[in-house]
Structure formats: C-alpha cells, structure tokens
Structure 1
Amino acid sequence: MNERLPSSYHSIQREGTAGVRQSDNKKQWGEKGKVEEKIRFIIRRVLKRTGFGLEIKVDRCGTNMTYDFIHDYVTFDPDRIVQAVSEQKVPVDLDAYVTAITLHELGHAIDRNALLDSVARSIEVFNSKRGIPVQAQYRDPAILQMLIGEEERNLVFEKTAWENAEMLNAMHRFVEPAKFNPIAAQSLGTYEKKLAGLVGKMTELNGSATA
C-alpha cells in the first residue's frame, strides 16, 4: 500500500547534521507501526463481531476515520486518531475510542442507500459554488442557503450513523455508555457548530440587507 511519509521522516534521515541516531529512527517508526497495527486490530475485531466484511485502508488525510460509501470500504489515519483521543473532553482510552468511531462508520454503512441517493444533490451544490471564493459564497444568499441545506443533510447523516452505532454497541456490548456517549456528542458537536456558523452568517446577511 502506498502511503505518504510524514514530514518528520525527511528530517530524521538527515542524521549527519541533526545528530539523530539510526536506532532512534527505527524506534520512532517501530512505535508508529505498533500503533497503526493496534488500531487496525481493533477495527478488524469490530468488523468481525458485527459481521461487516469491509476492506480497511490507511489514509493519512487528517480525518480519523471515514466510510467510503461509493466504494464500500473504511479508511483510518493512525496519526489523527492518536491526536483525536487526546482531544476528547472526557478522557478515553484508544481501544474505546477506535471501537466507537468504527461503529459510527458502520452506522454510515447501514445507511449507505440514503448516502448514495444524496450524491446528485451534493454534486449540484459543488458545481454551484465551484470557482467562487469562500467569502463570496457567504455573501450570496442563494449559495449560502444551499450550503446550509448541505450541512443540515450532513448533520442528519451523522445523527443517523451515531444512532445506528449506538444500536450496534448495545447489541454487542463493546463500549460502556459512559465512554461511548461523550465521543458521539463531541463528534456531533463539530457538525452542529459548523451548521450554526452558516445560519449565523445568513442571519447577518439578512440583517444587513434590511438595514
């Protein structure tokens, strides 16, 4: 599998000037590899127990985990996952976090038909805003309303996925609710915040138009 090397790799290779020993290089990559394999093991365990035969791919894209509903597989970014665990408002261990977000992606998989049905509208929104600077989009009522509609749909998909994840979690008893619920709430909060921001911009736009 072709993976992009972290930017730190190149600085480590210049050990002649940086004074980094080769053994330190091996140690760092060994630790990264162990974390990646641990995460992959957790994901596989969840897939096996729930009966989902999805392919697992590594994608260092900055998003902790994603379900590709077009091609029906899941991806994960081990570096981002480790960072996300440390960002949780309610402390949680790696195992519980990875299990919860895997169940969330399976929640999207359960809702795959609805996601596929939304593609045409998403393409329409994309084409409408293509080539228009972001700030200009926020000043156009028609485009801004489309963006709000898109975020509203995204939030519905996210809520549905977490509801499905909660159902799977209850069936298989993976993660105790005291750990699962805060992860779900914090995840949904990012989408709710983005939607609220767009609605706020529309309110400001309407206010300036009537002033």
Structure 2
Amino acid sequence: MKATMTESQIEALIELTICDVNMDVELKQERTGVNMMYDFIKNEVIVDIKRVQKACNELPEPMPLETYLRVLTIHELGHAMDRKALLVSLDRTKEIITMKKQAAAEKRPTDLPFMKMVIEEHKSDIAFEETAWANAGILNSFFGIVDGDSFEKVKSHSLETYWKLYENDLAIYQGLQEETLLV
C-alpha cells in the first residue's frame, strides 16, 4: 500500500482484516478523538480516520500505516473476543461514570474514595487491554496478519499509555493514603 491512504482505502483495509480473521464485526467511521475502539454494546469497531493516521506517526519507530491499521484492527477484534466479560462489567462501568460526573473536578485528586475508584477503573481497563492484546496475538499467530515485531511494537506502545496513566494516579492515591495515616 501507499505511504498515505484515502479514507476509503483505510476502511477497506480494516474490513479486509476483519474478514481475514473470519469475524463478523461491523465497522463504523466516527470522529471520536480515539484512533480505533471496540463498542462492545453494539459489537462494532469504530475508527477515527484522522486520529488513526496521526497516531501512527506518534509511534516511537516509523511503521507503514497499513501495518499499524492491521495491528489495531486485530487488537479491537481481541476485545470482541472478550465481549461477554465486557458486557458483565457494564453495570460497574456505569456506576464509575456516574460517580465521575458527580465529583467536582478540583476535589477529585484530593478525595481518597474517588481516587480508589479511579485505581479500580485503571486496573479493569488494563486487564481488558491485556486480554485483548493476548487475543490479538492468537489471531495474529493463527492468521499471520502482520509480522511479530510490528505487532509487539504497537502492543507495547499501546499498553505503555495505559500503564503511565495508572502509575500517575496510583502515586496520587498512595500519597492520599499516607496523608490519612498521618492524621
């Protein structure tokens, strides 16, 4: 494929990748600000074309957009393989979203129960991400979608983002715990 791809070429490549692994998941294009995601309620992969192109250029090492798209697609399909577990988590996810909306922004980083909930959410997100990557690895091994080195680079870069956010909030949470012990 070319170094740059049109929107229709990107959509066609994602749909081809979904077909290549024999899965039945719809593709939807939407401006979300997130490169690609899996909507487990509707069972569809959502791609933000502009964001996914930008995200590919943010990788530490250059990679063809085609390869990046194929890796991301099988990762999102890895979430689809874990759909039942995602659906089971829906009630708790709704509770967390409601609590986040109700919490005053300036109070959040100083509220121990709020930060405890944030840490819980991070751990859940990381577990779902690691499961999706494990499932994507199985798909890649079985169907030979991309080379293993490219797969690992995208996987590492993606997981690093989740871990950094978790570690930042964990430091805040641990600091609040220490403050309450001193009081």
* CA distance in 1 between partners of 2:96 and 2:33 (Å): 24
Tell me which residue corresponds to 1:130: 101
Q: Rg bigger for which structure? A: 1
Tell me which residue corresponds to 1:104: 75
Tell me which residue corresponds to 2:111: 140
One-letter amino acid of the counterpart of residue 189, structure 1:
E
Return structure 1 stretches of 4+ with deviation > 6 angstroms: none
Tell me which residue corresponds to 2:134: 163
2:87 matched to 1:116?
yes
The 3-state SS of whatever aligns with 1:79 is helix
After superposition, the CA RMSD in angstroms is 1.4
Higher mean displacement: 119-128 or 93-102:
119-128
| Deviation at residue 199 of structure 1 after TM alignment | 0.5
CA-to-aligned-CA distance 1:16-60 (integer Å, 9 cap, x gap): xxxxxxxxxxxxxxxx9x521111111111111111122111101
Structure 2 gap segments, 5+ residues each: none
* CA distance in 2 between partners of 1:149 and 1:43 (Å): 32
The 3-state SS of whatever aligns with 1:67 is strand
Q: How do 1:82-101 and structure 2 match up within 5 A?
A: 82-101=53-72
The count of residues paired between Structure 1 and Structure 2 equals: 179
Higher mean displacement: 122-131 or 101-110:
122-131
Tell me which residue corresponds to 2:26: 55
The 3-state SS of whatever aligns with 1:134 is coil
| Deviation at residue 128 of structure 1 after TM alignment | 2.3
* CA distance in 2 between partners of 1:84 and 1:54 (Å): 23
* CA distance in 2 between partners of 1:126 and 1:49 (Å): 35
| Deviation at residue 134 of structure 1 after TM alignment | 2.8
Contact 1:35-1:78 within 8 A present in 2 as well: no
* CA distance in 2 between partners of 1:67 and 1:83 (Å): 19
TM-score (norm 1): 0.81
Q: How do 1:44-83 and structure 2 match up within 5 A?
A: 44-83=15-54
Structure 1 gap segments, 5+ residues each: 1-31
| Deviation at residue 205 of structure 1 after TM alignment | 1.4
